[in-house]
Amino acid sequence: MSDVVINIENVSKMYRLGEVGTGTISHDLNRWWHRVRGKEDPYLKLGEENKRDSSGSGQYVWALKGVSFEVKEGEAIGIIGKNGAGKSTLLKLLSRVTAPTQGIIKAKGRIASLLEVGTGFHPELTGRENIFLNGAILGMTRPEIKKKFDEIVAFSGVARYVDTPVKRYSSGMYVRLAFAVAAYLDPEILIVDEVLAVGDVEFQKRCIGKMKDASQNEGKTVLFVSHNMASIESLTNKAIVLDNGRVDFTGTPRQAIERYFEQLAKNTAMSLAERTDYNGDGSIVFTNAWVEDERQMMVEEVMSGENVYFCVEYEIQGTVDSYDAVEIAMGVYTQNEAIVTDLWNESTGTNLNLKNNKKGVIKCKISRIPLNSGSYYFNIYCKSYSEVRYAIERACSFRVIPGDYFGTGIMLNDDAGVVLVHQEWSTQ
Amino acid sequence: MNKENASWSIIIEPTRGLFSINFKEIWQYRDLVLLLVKRDFIAFYKQTILGPLWFAIQPILTTAVYVLLFNKVAHVSTEGVPPILFQMAGITCWMYFSEVLIKTSDTFITNANIFGKVYFPRIVIPLSITLSSMIRLGIQMGLFFVILAYYYFFTDSNINFTWAAAMLPALIILMGLQALGLGIIISSLTSKYRDLKYLLTFGIQLLQFTTTVAIPLSQAEGTLKSIFGYHPFTAIIETFRFGFLGSGQFYEGYFIYSVVFTFISLAVGLLIFNKIERTFMDTV
């Protein structure tokens, strides 16, 4: 049972930044010339860590660097990490879409990823023809498909349309048929990238359902990439945290998720003044963002139901020293990157004028904060005269701890959702 | 090392040896090749009234134009063979060659979407193109034979069949492999540098005039003759015409040159393709 089915040894992947253009051919020639003389690839040395926010000087980055781990049969492994940490690159290597730059990956059995759903479907072909074609693309032989054909059709629920070109299908039917083929592929190792499935809710649900089935009922090996920490925790029994292309942590899902949040916090602990990853013309910049409690003291944790202040410190750059009618929005998000609400001065009809002072603090008071316990962060977006001045993600992270929102001493569990709502009950 | 690796069914490594083409794996995907051939064929005529007849219209019109241009206006001799048959023989062969070449050279770009999601031996695509174009060639050859039969039985044209007609299967395979070899070389290069693709689309139009599509080798002199001689496709067209029309002759030297050229380009193509297919997703 505990056989190793995937062995990843010191795998690295380098990407070239910028456009493939006139510079490429000279690099190729140079690389070739080094190889002819038996020397190391000169550009491999140049690769930098893949930190998207700090603009490095090199043209090459390591999307993955020295990644090693093992997957045992029957394990359900979650892979988490910030955007750009290398999750999708890792999956691409595993599904053999592209080859690693260094290192070796060994696997036992067929690897199938649910991102393949519907690849190679031709709109002019009928459902029947597409099942065969798609099945063959995914690596099934014709007898195998024939054997499963009836089941696939039954599972997809498009039996009546099976001899109609798929271009006449509704999008739901199309997805169901495509998914049915992939579901009957019956691989030994299943890869699910939820991040890439974003946009189609039904599809996403099916992926998760299929995955649950495969790992819990059929004992299949599953690799699961997601930004949704709740599904990572419920669906996997081991998790790997990637950071800048390296394995940062391996352990239980719960530990890994904590580690991931620490990573995010580390990023936001940096003062805004030092960060360069903002958008906008920068004529107004924000140098600090924090949360204050009722007593107007800077805190990292607030209690549900407490009055809190979201504060940002601004600095006007350049020669202009006053701005009328500044528009500021703070988007509040959960750490899973789901938006909770947008705090926006215009929505309250408040005018913000930054007059005659180059520096200052803008505060937004929230009475009885209606957030359930958990980790949150807010973004800053600032606009004036319909020009974006400054916009930054994850300006400030904060935690909400259980508090007496309802005034009854009763608190909700942290899986009871994100918001708390003032409510009045009656019978009539 | 080998013993240790034997228990793994998939091994993903950075660079593969130049000569490690996995023929066994390609064979495992033979069903896919056939299904792709079927797809190409069906998708072509779906929702058309004339269906596969469209395959016949193109060579007929091209033949009409060439007969008018080369034989009626320019008075190029066809060595006593009816000009329609002469032109059609060349055009039928050349059209197959150019179609396979153009389509395979686009392999990586047109299939980037599928290649970006699923792994299968990439060579499956050019192989299926070579085969599906053969269906088209079959229809066009059929048309040629119908017209040939008409001239043979109902007119007193000077048509002689020779022993070279028996080489037809070999000629078709040679055409296919030659186009495939050149096509995959170009496709490997265009995955990174698109320039070649543009060069090819108009180059292929000009290229047919550097071989004996419209003008017989016997009529060419000087520079033209040596250009024709260097073109590996010349021997194929000449042999085809010699076999079915009795015009020209079988040029042994040119033919051997064509065979050698085909196999060298195929070998080079397979090697480059094999190397490129692993990482082209990063550059396409």
How close is the nearest chain A Cα to the Cα of B36, in Å? 7
- Which band of pLDDT confidence, cut at 50, 70 and 90, is reported for residue A110? confident
Under an 8 A CB cutoff, do A97 and B36 touch? no
Three-class secondary structure assignment of A270-286: CCHHHCCCCECCCCEEE
Q: For residue A323, what are the β-bridge partners? A: A354
Would you state the pLDDT for residue A180? 82
- Alpha-carbon gap, residue B120 to B114, rounded angstroms: 10
How many CB pairs (< 8 A) connect A and B? 109
- Alpha-carbon gap, residue A408 to B120, rounded angstroms: 62
User: pLDDT tens for residues B130-159?
Assistant: 999 999 999 999 999 999 999 989 888 778
State what percent of residues in chain A have pLDDT above 90: 16
In this predicted model, which residue has the larger pLDDT, A308 or B158? Answer: A308
Tell whether the model's pLDDT for residue B257 goes beyond 90: yes
For residue A93, give every residue at least 6 positions away whose Cβ sits within 8 Å of its Cβ, in sequence order, or none: A11, A13, A64, A99, A100, A105, B12
Give the pair of three-digit tokens for residue A21. 């253009």
Residue B92 Ramachandran class (φ > 0 left, ψ -120 to 50 alpha, else beta):
alpha
Closest CA to A129 of A167, A97, A96: A167
Interface test with B, best of A14, A27, A124, A128 (most B CBs within 10 A): A124
Judge contact between B178 and B258, C-beta under 8 A.
yes
Judge contact between B239 and B255, C-beta under 8 A.
yes
Average pLDDT over residues A173-194: 81
Would you state the pLDDT for residue B5? 55
Closest CA to A373 of A323, A303, A276, A297: A303
Tell whether the model's pLDDT for residue A212 goes beyond 90: no
Under an 8 A CB cutoff, do A139 and B38 touch? no
Find which of A217-221, A335-339, B145-149 is predicted with most confidence, using mean pLDDT. Answer: B145-149
Helix, strand, or coil here: A173?
helix
Closest CA to A401 of A369, A355, A360, A357: A369
State the residue for tokens 């010349």: B234
Of A25, A98, A106, the CB nearest to B11: A106
Closest CA to A122 of B36, B122, B128: B36
- Alpha-carbon gap, residue B164 to B170, rounded angstroms: 10
Q: Supply φ then ψ for residue A56, to 5 degrees.
A: -75, 175
Under an 8 A CB cutoff, do B42 and A92 touch? no
Under an 8 A CB cutoff, do B119 and A141 touch? no
User: Domain A73-263 class?
Assistant: alpha beta
Tell whether the model's pLDDT for residue B258 goes beyond 90: yes
Start-to-end Cα distance in chain A: 60
Interface test with B, best of A97, A149, A167 (most B CBs within 10 A): A97
Q: Mean pLDDT score of chain A, rounded to an integer?
A: 82
> Does residue B1 lie in a domain region?
no
The DSSP call for residue B71 is: I
Residues of A contacting chain B (CB within 8 angstroms)? 7, 15-16, 20, 24-25, 28, 92-111, 113, 115-116, 119-120, 122, 124-125, 129, 132-133, 136-139, 141-142, 165
Give the pair of three-digit tokens for residue A125. 């072909």
Under an 8 A CB cutoff, do B14 and A101 touch? yes
Chain A residues touching B124 at Cβ < 8 A: none
Helix, strand, or coil here: A276?
coil
Flag whether residue B14 sits within 8 Å of chain A, measured between CB atoms.
yes
For residue A220, give every residue at least 6 positions away whose Cβ sits within 8 Å of its Cβ, in sequence order, or none: A74, A187, A188, A189, A190, A214
Flag whether residue B151 sits within 8 Å of chain A, measured between CB atoms.
no
- Name the fold adopted by A271-401: Coagulation Factor XIII; Chain A, domain 1 (2.70.50)
- Which band of pLDDT confidence, cut at 50, 70 and 90, is reported for residue A98? confident
Tell whether the model's pLDDT for residue A198 goes beyond 50: no
- Give Cα B223 distance to the centre of its chain: 26
Interface test with A, best of B4, B8, B22, B36 (most A CBs within 10 A): B8
> Does residue B3 lie in a domain region?
no
- Alpha-carbon gap, residue A347 to B101, rounded angstroms: 62
Structural domain including B200 reads 21-282
Least confident of A166-180, B16-30, B94-108: B16-30
Please give the helix or strand (H or E) that residue A400 lies within, else none: strand A387-401
Chain B residues touching A133 at Cβ < 8 A: 35-36, 39
How close is the nearest chain B Cα to the Cα of A401, in Å? 43
Q: Mean pLDDT score of chain B, rounded to an integer?
A: 86
Judge contact between B124 and B26, C-beta under 8 A.
yes
**Type of residue found at A62:** W
- Which band of pLDDT confidence, cut at 50, 70 and 90, is reported for residue B222? confident
> Does residue B92 lie in a domain region?
yes
Flag whether residue B5 sits within 8 Å of chain A, measured between CB atoms.
yes
Flag whether residue B18 sits within 8 Å of chain A, measured between CB atoms.
no
Least confident of A43-52, A153-162, A293-302, B97-106: A43-52
Tell whether the model's pLDDT for residue A298 goes beyond 90: no
Average pLDDT over residues A273-287: 84
> Does residue B27 lie in a domain region?
yes
State the residue for tokens 């942590």: A249
> Does residue B16 lie in a domain region?
no
- Report the residue of chain B nearest A25, measured CA to CA: B193
Give the domain ranges of chain A.
73-263, 271-401
Under an 8 A CB cutoff, do B42 and A93 touch? no
Tell whether the model's pLDDT for residue B168 goes beyond 90: yes
Chain A residues touching B43 at Cβ < 8 A: 122, 124-125
DSSP A357-396: -SEEEEEEEESS--B-SEEEEEEEEEEETTEEEEEEEEEE
User: pLDDT tens for residues A224-239?
Assistant: 887 777 778 888 889 9
Q: Total domain count for chain B?
A: 1
Give the pair of three-digit tokens for residue A91. 């999956």
Interface of B with A in 187-216 (CB under 8 A): 192-193
Give the pair of three-digit tokens for residue A259. 């580690």
Longest dimension (CA), chain B: 73
b (16+ CB within 10 A) / e for A371-391: bbbbbbbbbbbbbbeeebbbb
> By 3-state DSSP, what share of chain A in percent is helix, strand and coil, each rounded to 5?
30, 35, 35
Helix, strand, or coil here: A339?
strand
Judge contact between A252 and A352, C-beta under 8 A.
no
Asked if ipTM goes beyond 0.85, one says: no
For residue B208, give every residue at least 6 positions away whose Cβ sits within 8 Å of its Cβ, in sequence order, or none: B94, B98, B214
Would you state the pLDDT for residue B49? 79
- Give Cα A341 distance to the centre of its chain: 19
Tell whether the model's pLDDT for residue B279 goes beyond 80: no
Would you state the pLDDT for residue A399? 85
